[in-house]
Structure 1
């Protein structure tokens, strides 16, 4: 065998050994910690605890988590065609994640092909199916604080997601009334936790800002490991990496976190399709809007933010 062939052979062997060690280390971390630091809520009390966190920290009631998706760059998987090629013109897998009020990941769908949108991945997800089938022990509808009308608990997202009783999103941005603009501010204030969670995650594990050269299954394993370690750090050292997070100034204005200064994982595409907002979802959003603008649900600074 020539010296060039020997070198190539050794490189291939080293890569395979590294990949094997990487797989074993990542799997060991997941097996050891996932149940401790990233348990999926299994009871009504678990979900209510998440909602109480959003109300206490972000003044937004009945929120069971903030949902968003991000692209993680990768090389083009063999034989995949353009299915991993996203609208930003690079190959990626998608991390679709649900985050609590303290920037911890509750649930994640990892590995969606980059050409898919947030909405497509959400509509095909096991979490959405479980919600619609009634398989989750979600809290029953209850009145908002200092109110009497029952309102369901829900997740919060951006314009990518369809409005439903279990999914609330902002009003469209055309010709909004003052009350609708205030509602959008209050919802975006609570939803920002998922953006910040992604920011902390990618700053802590900067491999997520590179173009991964692995097979999609290995990338899923790496990303899962990063989520578990992120939650572990948030649980054991909650103040360790708060500096990069968006925060509020003395007058409640938003001060951008340091994570926004760097190159981060990219947003997923917002697909503008047919209006799928349903009537019951609109009723819930309108009730929330009126509550937020009432004496029962308003906060002193909300008019100053508009």
Structure 2
């Protein structure tokens, strides 16, 4: 049963392909995949996707600072559209802005490309920010119940204590604990430096999605299964992804190499801007990144 399930998820074969390989009925293979995926989630999910403790959050933040040079970062958040063949009687609820049917994998990822939190199964038509704000993780984050370390100085020479944050793209709303890039094309040097540094940290979630899809090639084609089975397949692949990352560890070859096009301009966005406190927090990070304490040696030569 495990062999059939791993072959299905790792090769991207259909149930019909496995019918000829294993000489099992298509309905039998479907039931096997569902049973094994549920068992993987129940057995390992509680260990691989637990809410970090205060000390674990500090370790994640230290890793982000060491690898992405972004202090006080608890993770990168983003959503991935899992392509599907539309479910019966679902209309256009799963039709996303890219023009195909999907369910959404919403995730928070650490700097080792491991998933800290996932939410699976939202409609493809929904935007990332709305999906994230409906999750239990966001509720706990907003209520201060995630054991996040208290605000502290980004550098001993600073006088303002800065909270720990998640980083996301321009689809997310700017809040006390979520940073997004500055929008628009007429940006100051300080704002462009901040966007560049945020993109360096946010790329870990994009890379994690890429690693997941290439390790489990079932995501290279539309899932032609029921919504329940589709969600179970994604959950099992996420858990197995974390198990593989635990085994392989962090590869130094994943390090970032600066290019001449590192500074980019972000397009205008219609997402509601955060309040004064959230903007002040982002401005504090921007000031730190252009200060002697927070700038990178080769970063200032690009300005």
Does TM, normalized by the shorter one, top 0.5? yes
1:104-123 correspondence to structure 2 within 5 Å:
104-123=114-133
1:195-234 correspondence to structure 2 within 5 Å:
195-234=206-245
Shift of 1:30: 2.1
How big is each residue's C-alpha offset from its partner over 1:34-78, in whole Å with a ceiling of 9 and x where there is no partner?
23333321x211211111110111111111100011111111111
2:256 pairs with one of 248, 253, 260? 248
Instruction: Report the counterpart of residue 80 of structure 2 in structure 1.
Output: 70
Unaligned 5+ runs, structure 1: 1-9, 257-269
Shift of 1:123: 1.6
Q: SS of the counterpart of 1:297?
A: coil
Matched, 1:283 2:276: no
Q: SS of the counterpart of 2:25?
A: helix
1:3-82 correspondence to structure 2 within 5 Å:
14-41=25-52, 43-82=53-92
Check the 8 A contact 1:185/1:305 in 2, yes or no: no
Provide the rounded CA distance (Å) in 2 between the counterparts of 1:184 and 1:276.
Answer: 16
Unaligned 5+ runs, structure 2: 1-18
How big is each residue's C-alpha offset from its partner over 1:258-291, in whole Å with a ceiling of 9 and x where there is no partner?
xxxxxxxxxxxx9943533211110000011111
Q: SS of the counterpart of 2:200?
A: helix
Provide the rounded CA distance (Å) in 1 between the counterparts of 2:244 and 2:261.
Answer: 23
Change in 2 beyond 3 A, CA 1:288/1:111? same
Task: Quote the RMSD (CA, aligned, Å).
Answer: 2.4
Matched, 1:83 2:89: no
Check the 8 A contact 2:170/2:271 in 1, yes or no: no
Provide the rounded CA distance (Å) in 1 between the counterparts of 2:292 and 2:216.
Answer: 43
Instruction: Report the counterpart of residue 166 of structure 1 in structure 2.
Output: 177
Check the 8 A contact 1:72/1:209 in 2, yes or no: no
1:79-158 correspondence to structure 2 within 5 Å:
79-146=89-156, 147-158=158-169
Change in 2 beyond 3 A, CA 1:198/1:274? closer
Check the 8 A contact 2:73/2:166 in 1, yes or no: yes
Provide the rounded CA distance (Å) in 2 between the counterparts of 1:274 and 1:200.
Answer: 29
